[in-house]
């Protein structure tokens, strides 16, 4: 069999149209605005910010990118932008994981477009209303777009990062899947991947998953983005695995395409939540 290749760009366009309608319903007297705070940005940070700017332009959303040389200045800016009613979302680009988590905690939940603040992550676990991590939100949207039934399925997630692996596992469990999370200390990962109806790979290791590690007809979602010989590839051997799986996302053009728009979905949801608080 050959898998159905899911075009994330088509899903992105569909979500963009939904967001345009939501923005129109807000009846705002000003454009929406996203602030991106960078601390010693690397090339991938610059590329991602540029990608978000392209999406924002389609939605007539302003994007302000500020670069900081010290984290205390960044923290002060977070406090200022939390209070600034002309700013609707704040995103941090900080390479160190601990620093990222620490400084994200200062963003008010309604402006935390990454869905990474302690309050938003807590709401995710409790199934309360909040902003969800964009990558996890994208994965669930991709699966649902196909009409695939998540409930009762065995899901295996490779990777346990706070930005992708863990939130994806929680959101799949919230959809009544049975989840196994594998990580660097898991012995013989293939024991778990071969039993998975839904396999999500988010470990950042190029071409790690081959067909021999995948269940026949599985739904394979490749979250990985890796640079190999000037080519962007995922964590899955795409050409090989597509011949065995039922559905598969490509890299590029898969999860990343949908994640970008989910950032702005969070921004709009945050505006709605702030309006609800006022009333």
Binding site per annotation, positions for NADP(+): 159-161, 225
Concatenated DSSP letters of the chain: --PEEP-HHHHHHHHHHHHHHHHHHHT-SS--EEEEEEES--HHHHHHHHHHHHHHHHTT-EEEEEEESSHHHHHHHHHHHHH-TT--EEEEEESSHHHHHHHHTTS-GGGBTT--SHHHHHHHHHT-S-PPPHHHHHHHHHHHHTT---TT-EEEEE---TTTHHHHHHHHHHTT-EEEEE-TT-S-THHHHTT-SEEEE-S--TT-B-GGGS-TT-EEEE---EEETTEEE-SB-HHHHTTT-SEE--SSSSHHHHHHHHHHHHHHHHHHHHHHHH-
**107, 119 in Cβ contact below 8 A?**
no
How many CB atoms sit inside 10 A of residue 1's CB? 10
Nearest to 135 by CA among 228, 256, 236, 12: 256
Known binding residues: 159-161, 225
User: How far is the C-alpha of 105 from the C-alpha of 223, rounded, in Å?
Assistant: 25
């Amino acid at each position: 069999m050959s898998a159905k290749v899911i075009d994330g760009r088509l899903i992105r366009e569909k979500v963009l149209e939904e967001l345009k309608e939501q923005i129109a319903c807000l009846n705002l007297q000003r454009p929406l605005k996203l602030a991106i705070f960078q601390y010693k940005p690397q090339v991938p940070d610059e590329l991602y910010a540029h990608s978000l700017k392209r999406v924002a332009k389609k939605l007539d959303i302003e994007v302000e990118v500020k670069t900081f040389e010290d984290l205390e200045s960044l923290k002060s800016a977070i406090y200022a932008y939390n209070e600034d009613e002309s700013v609707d979302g704040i995103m941090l680009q900080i390479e160190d994981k601990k620093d990222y988590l620490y400084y994200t905690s200062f963003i008010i939940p309604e402006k935390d477009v990454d869905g990474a603040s302690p309050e938003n992550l807590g709401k995710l676990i409790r199934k309360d209303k909040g902003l969800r991590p964009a990558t996890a939100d994208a994965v669930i949207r991709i699966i649902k777009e196909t009409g695939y039934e998540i409930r009762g399925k065995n899901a295996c997630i490779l990777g346990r990062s706070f930005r992708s692996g863990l939130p994806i596992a929680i959101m799949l469990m919230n959809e009544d899947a049975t989840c196994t999370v594998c990580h660097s200390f898991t012995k013989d990962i293939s024991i778990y991947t071969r039993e998975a109806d839904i396999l999500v790979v988010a470990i950042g290791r190029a071409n790690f998953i081959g067909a021999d590690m995948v269940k026949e007809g599985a739904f394979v979602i490749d979250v990985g983005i890796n640079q190999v010989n000037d080519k962007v590839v995922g964590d899955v051997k795409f050409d090989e695995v597509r011949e065995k799986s039922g559905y598969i996302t490509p890299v590029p053009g898969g999860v990343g395409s949908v994640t970008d728009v989910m950032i702005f979905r969070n921004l709009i949801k945050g505006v709605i939540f702030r309006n609800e608080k006022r009333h």
